[in-house]
């Protein structure tokens, strides 16, 4: 082989070590940023409006169950149903 095409080192050792250290520093910074965002969302912001927890001395379930198919929905408290409509007039012809 001639000196022109001999395989040599592609990068110096200092460059490889420096690149690895820069990668570690960038990874640590990214980890701290993500941790800070998660901390802000999970700890500092108020929680979303969940229903109150069920307890033995509480009012129980706050939400009504969905209607069973094939049944009429139950009237709401204080609801007064309207009177039935009169029958249609008979036609003679």
Query: Residue ranges per domain, the chain?
Result: 23-48
Q: What is the pLDDT of residue 25?
A: 98
Rounded to an integer, what distance in angstroms lies between the CA atom of residue 50 and that of residue 53?
8
Instruction: Express each pLDDT in 37-86 by its tens digit.
Output: 988 888 777 777 777 666 655 555 556 667 677 766 666 677 777 888 88
Question: At a CB cut-off of 8 Å and minimum separation 6, what does 51 contact?
Answer: 62, 63
Kindly state the tokens that stand for 11. Answer: 């990068």
Query: What's the confidence (pLDDT) of residue 58?
Result: 54
Confidence at 26, pLDDT banded by 50, 70, 90: very high
């Amino acid at each position: 082989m001639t000196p022109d095409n001999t395989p040599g080192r592609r990068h110096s050792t200092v460059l490889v070590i420096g690149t690895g250290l820069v990668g570690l520093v960038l990874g640590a910074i990214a980890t701290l940023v993500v941790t800070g965002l998660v901390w802000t969302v999970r700890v500092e912001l108020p929680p979303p409006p969940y229903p109150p927890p069920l307890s033995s001395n509480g009012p129980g379930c706050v939400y009504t169950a969905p209607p069973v198919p094939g049944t009429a929905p139950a009237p709401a408290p204080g609801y007064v149903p309207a009177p039935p409509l009169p029958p249609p007039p008979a036609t003679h012809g």
